[in-house]
Amino acid sequence: MKIAIILGTRPEITKMAPLIKIYQENRADYFILHTGQHYSYQMDKVFFDQLKLPQPKYNIDVGSSSHGEQTGKMLIGIEKILLKEKPDVVLVEGDTNSVLAGALAAAKLGIRVGHVESGLRSYDRAMPEELNRLLADHIADYLFAPTPKSKQILLGEGIDEKKVFVTGNTIVDSIFQNLELAKSGKDVLGELKLKPKRYFLVTLHRQENVDNAARFGSILQGLGRIAQKYKLPVVYPIHPRSRKMMDHFKLKPENLTLIEPVDFLAFLQLENGARLILTDSGGVQEEACILGVPCVTLRDNTERPETLELGSNMLAGADAERILECAEIMLDKKGKWDNPFGDGKAAARIAKIIAEAENG
């Protein structure tokens, strides 16, 4: 049995890392194909280095472009490699253009597809990620749902129950494996002159937020008000595309500490030490929940409803006043909730399910 692991972004690298390590340790017949969707060193190669992963066998280096052009380039590049390598199973993770292109290229060649982190829905089809995850799920032969709720969503869409497996989320594996390593590495808080639980952490990069001047400006205003009210640093490792759009719209955020993007272990330190996390990232909502850090989501919906039900997270949208209000509520939380995303053994379950199914 030969496995192809297709990825292209930081979240995919960190969430696939535990699975890659299992295949590496077991000397399995597998290879990594990187689409190059994240194309800077900070957003890409450093994660392989830090997580001690083998470098990808292939990198098709698509870079940044429109959704259609980027996905089309990926399809062409991935198809050529799959025809050459002839894997039995292609594994993709999450909701990026790399996931859609990988799943579609494999399915059209008659190669079985495993979708890690399946069954997540925001029910907002204006989000490119929603279309990617929806299509990948309906193409896949193996659907690895992180929670019972995500399994029920898939069954509700008519997907055969025999294809769906509740495994937990591999981000739990990754956090458990790397948190101590992060703490023992360089002192990011010290370098930034931050004290544990005496700062707020922000991530803000989604297209629906940063490509809309009014929405982006309102969120930045809300974050500025939080910094002003609590007299604590609001640290924002700014994504290159977000900075580009900030400059394009001539937005000048007040009271925020803008820093360059950081690597996975540094970001894990920042998450773990934050008093509150404000984000539009689905993965960061999960990570905050797992680490016991209260979260405010800068979106109108989420595909991680478990976090809302637990009370680890609130939806604030883009209204400045609502963002401040949600921050006030979440700052009263003590971080005492059960992690709904698994026990840190998701990757082992996924590898076992595939092996048993493929080897009969």
| DSSP string of 219-232, one letter each residue | HHHHHHHHHHHHT-
The angle subtended at Cα 21 by Cα 20 and Cα 26, nearest 5°, is 100
Q: Residue 264 is encoded by which pair of tokens?
A: 């996975």
Provide the 8-state DSSP code for 161. Answer: G
Helix (H, G, I), strand (E, B) or coil at 125: coil
Cα four-point dihedral sign 11, 142, 166, 20: negative
Half-sphere exposure of 213 (CA within 13 A, CB side): 6
Measured distance CA(1)–CA(266) in Å, rounded? 36
Provide the 8-state DSSP code for 157. Answer: T
- The catalytic residues are 205
Helix (H, G, I), strand (E, B) or coil at 98: helix
Measured distance CA(299)–CA(303) in Å, rounded? 11
